Structures are given as C-alpha cells and as structure tokens.
Homo-oligomer: A and B are copies of this chain.
Amino acid sequence: MAETSNSPTGGYVQMDDVGWIPFPPGLCKGNIRWKLLHVSPEAGAWTAIFDCPAGTSFAKHIHMGPGEYFLTKGRMHVRGGSVVGGATAVAPGYGYEACNAQHDHTEFTEDSEFYMTFMGPLNFLDDDGNTVALVGCQQVLDAWNAATGG
C-alpha cells in the first residue's frame, strides 16, 4: 500500500487539508459529511471523522466489531437495539461500542462532530432486519476514492 500523504492508505493526514465529503445518502438522513482517515486492510479496521448537523441521523446498523468514538462537538443520541433505553453522549465524550451493538437510531439534535475507529464492518439493516449494506474497510475506501477521485 502506498504511503500517500493525506490519503487513508498513508500514515498521516493533515485533517484540515482534506475536504468533507457527503456520507452515502442511503446510510443516513440529512447532510452528514465525513473524512476517511485510515484503512487497515489486514484487520479490516478503519477510522473516520464525521460532521453531523442538527437534525441528521444514521440509519439502523449493527457494529460487527468493536468501535470507539470521541465526540468532539455537540450531542449524539443512541437509541434502540437490545438496550431500548438509549444513551446520550455530550462532547467531550468517549464511548466504546461493543461488537454486535445494534443502533436503531443515532440522532444529532445539535451540530456535532465525532472521530471514530472501527474494527470490522457496519451492517446496515432495513426494517425487517435484512442487510442493506455491509460497510467495511474496502467499501469505505471505494466510496471515498469514488467521491474524491483518489
């Protein structure tokens, strides 16, 4: 893999030199944008930062491996799945999402931003629990390259 500067396949990214890209519309509601920072193809891990304006949300998904987020701005409401009660993260907040955590709704009621490391894919589901998209390190890299011409 080439050690390209400011590329998710390199070792360092100067984050403010990389533009925000719209996150695929089928996977979220509203204008969520992201920057893909790294892919680790051996382990299937990947790292990104997300910009989530007030009123946006992510579609229903299951974390097929653990993930860790650092909410740097705003509020993130996690609802549903096995734990119905939900939780709210407030910046600055750290959260560990366990392998197989299911998130029926991940909503942002104010402008928010979070950085997240993912091990393995996200399994996006429809209302019947069928897989709509399996989003792992290869898929995010392909989506990123398609959007940025990388």
Residue ranges of A at the interface with B (Cβ–Cβ < 8 Å): 10-16, 37-38, 40-44, 47, 49, 64-66, 68, 70, 72, 87, 89-90, 92-100, 115, 117, 119-121, 123, 130-131, 134, 136-138
Pick from B15, B44, B90: contact of A120, CB below 8 A.
B44
Number of this chain's copies in the assembly equals 4
Contact check, B94 vs A47: say whether CB atoms are below 8 A apart.
yes
Closest to A136 in B: B64
**Min C-beta distance of A21 to chain B, whole Å:** 15
Residues of B within 8 A of A98 (CB): 11, 41-42
Residues of B within 8 A of A136 (CB): 64, 99-100
Contact check, A42 vs B44: say whether CB atoms are below 8 A apart.
no
Distance, CA A106 to CA B21, complexed state (A) = 32
Closest to A63 in B: B44
Closest CB pairs A-B (n = 3)? A42-B42, A131-B131, A44-B99
Also in contact, A40 and B41, with CB within 8 A (given A14-B93, A93-B13): no
